[in-house]
Amino acid sequence: MAFRSLGTVAAATKSLRIGLIPADGIGREVIPAARRVLEALGSDLPKLEFHDLLAGFDLFTRTGTALPSETIHVLKEECDAALFGAVSSPSRKVAGYSSPIVALRKELDLYANIRPVVAVSPNPEGKPSVDLVVVRENTECLYVKQETMTQTDSGREARATRLITERASRRIGRMAFELALARPRKKVTIIHKSNVLSVTDGLFRETVRAVPTLPEISGRFDSVTIAEQIVDSAVYRLFREPEIYDVMVAPNLYGDILSDAAAALVGSLGLVPSVNAGDSFVMGEPVHGSAPDIEGQRIANPLAAIRSAALMLRHLKYEDAANRIDTAVDHVIRDGRVLTPDLGGKSKTDEVVEAVLRRL
């Protein structure tokens, strides 16, 4: 896979401590699958220590707490990295509830959500038609969740605050340029809507464009090409000509939408991994949601969670182990005999995991 991370944790520890947070729905099926693959890597990794941790909407309905303080404490004090499954955030307002994954990103300062989208099968020219990374700012935009509802003479009026700061835009821009520098095409496309949102998106666009000119960088990104695209036309071009994109950097909401849309180009959300990364911690997270419609049927696609584990390892500098996982997953997909229903197959979750393990 063409993704390469910054690598913030040295791969020289005697043990690797990983927090496991299955959370809701099929997260409880795919995170154990990822653990099995990690355990199968043997000497490519140090001794593995797993911490089973709680979070999620189901937990909230039982206890009134979506993200226990104990989970945060263990992640900060006892873990080197984590894997998060999926969360069932309701579409209606529920008093006292807020998304635990959003809270974790803030608590651990995981300011970048990095989502590589790669087509496994090559096009007729022998090159992947889709090979891009969406770098999504993880802490701001509308996801600050500052909403109000007021009653007016003409009915209810809802408002939401959108936050874009220079600091957050600068560091997500730096992350995007670092990723692009490690990739063959070395291109960053800034996604925005500053033709309408000239203040907020304008600040994001201007700040990211200025990253290569920062005094402390001094020519580091001279080889990286900078482009930009209005978000609505970016979605159109993503479907028409995905090969034009390399690294796409976007505010929180746009990045969320673009990466889910890009997943359609490679067959399924069940294939797309991500990591939530900061300067001192990384948490793998499959891009798919909790999928309550298939929960408990044992047909959830585990490959996105397994690939997220590989991204987590790559960020921690365990390149050989990550490459082994990616190669095994690519083989299973190309082989086509053991696939879950979202990819047109008839296999169960465990059967796909076994196929990956055999390839390992």
Instruction: Determine the average pLDDT of the residues in 174-184.
Output: 96
Which listed residue (80, 131, 193, 254) is catalytic? 193
User: Of 272, 292, 320, which residue sits at a domain end?
Assistant: 272
Q: Are residues 262 and 118 in the same domain?
A: yes
Q: Are residues 97 and 122 in the same domain?
A: no
Kindly report the CATH number assigned to the domain that includes residue 220. Answer: 3.40.718.10
Q: Are residues 192 and 311 in the same domain?
A: no
Q: Are residues 359 and 311 in the same domain?
A: yes
Look up the pTM and report it. Answer: 0.89
Instruction: Determine the average pLDDT of the residues in 65-75.
Output: 97
Which listed residue (256, 318, 326, 342) is catalytic? 256
Q: Are residues 243 and 148 in the same domain?
A: yes
Q: Are residues 178 and 255 in the same domain?
A: yes
Q: Which domain holds residue 56?
A: 1-110+278-360
Instruction: Determine the average pLDDT of the residues in 224-228.
Output: 98
311-322 per-position pLDDT tens digit:
999 999 999 999
Predicted pLDDT of residue 4: 40
Q: Are residues 224 and 299 in the same domain?
A: no
Can 201 be counted among the known catalytic residues? no
Instruction: Determine the average pLDDT of the residues in 98-118.
Output: 93
Predicted pLDDT of residue 5: 45
- Position with higher pLDDT, 210 vs 126: 210
Can 193 be counted among the known catalytic residues? yes
Neighbours of 244 (CB within 10 A): 15
Q: Give the C-alpha separation, 312 to 103, whole Å.
A: 19
268-282 per-position pLDDT tens digit:
888 999 999 999 999
* 326, 310 Cβ separation under 8 angstroms: yes
Neighbours of 327 (CB within 10 A): 14
- Position with higher pLDDT, 123 vs 174: 174
Predicted pLDDT of residue 13: 58
Q: Are residues 268 and 298 in the same domain?
A: no
Q: Give the C-alpha separation, 318 to 12, whole Å.
A: 10
Q: Give the C-alpha separation, 2 to 184, whole Å.
A: 8
Identity of the amino acid at 251: P
**Is residue 162 very low, low, confident or very high in pLDDT (cuts 50, 70, 90)?**
very high
* 291, 19 Cβ separation under 8 angstroms: no
Res. 9: pLDDT tops 60: no
Q: Are residues 77 and 141 in the same domain?
A: no
Predicted pLDDT of residue 123: 56
User: Of 207, 237, 272, which residue sits at a domain end?
Assistant: 272
Neighbours of 104 (CB within 10 A): 25
| Range with top average pLDDT, 4-18, 39-53, 93-107 | 39-53
Which listed residue (109, 260, 330, 350) is catalytic? 260
User: Of 226, 254, 272, which residue sits at a domain end?
Assistant: 272
Of 132, 66, 168, 136, the closest CA to residue 285 belongs to 136
**Is residue 220 very low, low, confident or very high in pLDDT (cuts 50, 70, 90)?**
very high
Which listed residue (143, 245, 254, 318) is catalytic? 143
Can 232 be counted among the known catalytic residues? yes
82 CB-near residues (< 8 Å, 6+ apart): 18, 19, 20, 21, 53, 75, 281, 282, 283, 284, 312
Q: Are residues 215 and 291 in the same domain?
A: no
Strands 187-192 and 147-152: unpaired
Q: Are residues 87 and 126 in the same domain?
A: no
Q: Give the C-alpha separation, 112 to 115, whole Å.
A: 10
Q: Give the C-alpha separation, 55 to 57, whole Å.
A: 7
Q: Are residues 263 and 322 in the same domain?
A: no
Phi then psi for residue 79, to 5 deg, are -125, 145
In the chain, the number of structural domains is 2
* 228, 189 Cβ separation under 8 angstroms: yes
Tell me the pLDDT of the chain averaged across its residues.
92
Instruction: Determine the average pLDDT of the residues in 128-157.
Output: 91
Can 109 be counted among the known catalytic residues? no
**Is residue 6 very low, low, confident or very high in pLDDT (cuts 50, 70, 90)?**
very low
Res. 2: pLDDT tops 50: no
Res. 8: pLDDT tops 50: no
Which listed residue (127, 145, 222, 232) is catalytic? 232
Res. 128: pLDDT tops 70: no
Above pLDDT 70, what percent of the chain? 94
